[in-house]
């Protein structure tokens, strides 16, 4: 079993997304403070800011949890993130061309993007080579 993980740039991207989302919550809460200055309901302000904070925490958790760019190759299947794909359902592999992401086509006609742009160049080349070997054994 060989597993490939994203580079540190992916962690920087996730950190940037969370910082931007936190800044957006901060701006929205400032706007609500300005509006609530004219409306005498501090309870309304606290409820809205609390809902925004909770939604921010949930969104940050989902961003970190759902985006797991890793690919591992096993004997009978490959795992992309948390999805297991048996080799026998893969009809063809289309490598990256001109900045596009490589993808797999299944026998049912589904397209599965590999999203390997966050991997190191050496790992991307190894992944493409391994896929060609596993899908088209000679």
The per-residue pLDDT for range 28-81, each reduced to its tens digit, is 878 877 777 776 667 777 787 788 888 888 888 887 777 667 888 888 888 888
Beta carbons of 79 and 5 less than 8 angstroms apart:
no
pLDDT value of residue 81: 80
Beta carbons of 102 and 88 less than 8 angstroms apart:
no
Q: Cα dihedral angle (26, 31, 36, 39), rounded to 10 degrees? A: -160
Residue 75 to residue 131: CA distance in whole angstroms: 12
Note the pTM of the prediction, 2 decimals.
0.65
Backbone torsion region of residue 100, taken as left when φ is above 0, otherwise alpha when ψ lies between -120 and 50, otherwise beta: beta
Tens-digit pLDDT profile for residues 79-110 = 888 888 888 888 888 887 777 788 888 889 88
pLDDT value of residue 17: 82
């Amino acid at each position: 079993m060989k597993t490939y993980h994203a580079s540190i740039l992916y962690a920087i991207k996730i950190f940037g997304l969370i910082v931007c989302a936190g800044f957006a919550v901060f701006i929205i809460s400032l706007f609500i403070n300005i509006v609530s200055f004219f409306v005498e309901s501090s309870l309304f302000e606290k409820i809205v800011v609390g809902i925004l904070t909770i939604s921010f925490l949930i969104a940050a958790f989902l961003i970190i949890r759902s985006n797991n760019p890793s690919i591992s190759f096993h004997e009978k299947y490959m795992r992309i993130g948390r999805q297991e794909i048996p080799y026998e359902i893969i009809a063809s592999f289309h490598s990256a061309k001109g900045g596009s992401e490589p993808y797999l086509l299944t026998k049912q006609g589904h397209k599965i993007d590999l999203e390997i742009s966050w991997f190191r160049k050496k790992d991307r080349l190894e992944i493409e080579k391994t896929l060609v070997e596993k899908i088209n054994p000679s």
